[in-house]
């Protein structure tokens, strides 16, 4: 069984960013369906996607919902810096701030996770 942490760093402002977040969600779905240990983390500009994908009329809302149970969190510092902290919390996604307000990638690696970024 694989242990994978998929990290979304993509911003919401470009078509390229949409492609990256969709590829990340598809990768999480692939690992999830294979019954692998997979976590999804939103970091950098990535937390901006959570309120967008939470909208029922978003084209990829269904895909987001299908993997929402695998979301380990959104970077607490970055969600605040990008002005979406309250929206992230309102969507039901927990904030991750293990290391100075950010997720601890060292902890993930020490626990045997491969880290893939989008």
pLDDT in tens, 47-72: 999 999 999 999 999 999 999 999 99
Cα–Cα–Cα angle for 71, 74, 75, rounded to 5 degrees: 145
CB 70 within 8 Å of CB 38: yes
Contacts 24+ apart (CB under 8 A), 83-86: 84/47, 84/48, 84/50, 84/51, 85/47
Which residues are within 8 A (CB) of 70 and not within 5 positions of it... i.e. 6 or more apart? 28, 32, 38, 39, 40
Write down the pLDDT at residue 65.
98
CATH of the domain at 48: 3.40.1260.10
Would you say the pTM of this structure is higher than 0.85?
A: yes
Structural domain total, the chain:
1
Mean pLDDT of 80-94: 98
Q: Give the range of the structural domain holding residue 84, as residue numbers without chain letter.
A: 3-117
Dump pLDDT digits (tens) for 8-46: 999 999 999 999 999 999 999 999 999 999 999 999 999
**pLDDT tier, 73 (very low <50, low <70, confident <90, very high otherwise):** very high
- In the structure encoding, which two tokens stand for residue 7, read together? 């990290």
């Amino acid at each position: 069984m694989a242990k994978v942490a998929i990290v979304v760093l993509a911003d919401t402002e470009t078509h390229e960013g949409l492609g990256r977040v969709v590829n990340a969600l598809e990768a999480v779905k692939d690992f999830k369906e294979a019954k692998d240990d997979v976590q999804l983390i939103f970091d950098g500009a990535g937390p901006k996607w959570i309120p967008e994908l939470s909208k029922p009329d978003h084209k990829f809302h269904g895909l987001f919902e299908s993997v929402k149970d695998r979301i380990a969190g959104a970077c607490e510092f970055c969600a605040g810096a990008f002005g979406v902290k309250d929206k992230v919390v309102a969507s039901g996604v927990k904030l991750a701030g293990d290391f100075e307000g950010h997720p601890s990638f060292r902890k993930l690696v020490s626990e045997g996770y491969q880290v893939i970024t989008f």
